[in-house]
Homo-oligomer: A and B are copies of this chain.
Amino acid sequence: MKDIASLLTSVREKSPLVHNITNFVVMNNTANALLATGASPIMSHAIEEVEDMVSICNSLVINIGTLDSAFVQAMKSAMKQARILNKPIVLDPVGAGATPYRNRVLQELLNTAAPDYIRGNASEIMALAGLSVQTKGVDSTESSMDSIQGAQKLSLQYDAVICVSGEIDIVVYRDQIMKIHNGHPMMTKVTGMGCSASAILAAFAAISSDKLQAAVAATAFIAICGELAAAKSTGPGSLQMNILDIMYKLTESEFSDNLRINAL
């Protein structure tokens, strides 16, 4: 797991174009997070163009936050095309387990194309793995550490890297488990932090062929930025502003110096 921090420099140099079919709540944050990190965002959901958009992009984010039937149709079309063109797919199963419709759509999406990455909170990952969980809408009621079994099941089933956000962030790829100890609790008081993490994951995925390394780097990057931003913020309003400034300015050595990860 060397060279985690150097991936940030690669993202900035290559500025990958990330296609997002995502929810209405976070589109603005997500685009700004990608720009601040050094990537280029595209938001597009028209069935008439999603295949073409995937073709010119470097990776694809599928986020079901405010899903409806038109968006789901576009998601399937984009995922199929991304699979054909071998572009990395990140799935963010927002609210998995909250309603039968969400669960049904997630199965349809997973049957359409296996994602390379799935990123969610513990409740979402456990629901997606078919484990019985309590959910509270889009918020987790479970600890990330309790989701490891479910994450490993999903990882093996789809050959995907599974990222679970929480007090400790977990990244699971088959039998490899990484713990990221960065982050700050105030991040849960800003909407769309997880959605931004999924989009940034897609940016890192676009420039690295090592799936586990890309996931650890992206997860650690947003956690470190949040941690540094929280230290100079008086609440979630200033945190949302400061995290974008820090994403924009964080140097490779600041990234390395603040990194607190270990294998389980």
24 pairs across A/B with beta carbons < 8 Å? A25-B31, A27-B66, A28-B29, A28-B192, A32-B190, A35-B191, A36-B189, A36-B237, A40-B138, A40-B139, A42-B95, A42-B138, A45-B68, A46-B68, A52-B98, A56-B135, A189-B248, A235-B245, A235-B249, A236-B244, A237-B240, A237-B243, A238-B242, A238-B244
Given the known inter-chain contacts A68-B45, A101-B49, please indicate yes or no for A235 contacting B36, CB distance below 8 A.
Answer: yes
CB-CB under 8 A from A98, the residues of chain B are 42, 52-53, 56
The 8 Å CB contact of A245, one of B32, B136, B237, B247, is B237
Q: Whole-angstrom distance between the alpha carbons of A22 and B71 in the complex? A: 18
Most buried by B among A49, A56, A138, A234: A49
| Interface residues in A4-62 (C-beta closer than 8 Å to B) | 17, 23-29, 31-32, 35-36, 40-49, 52-53, 56-57
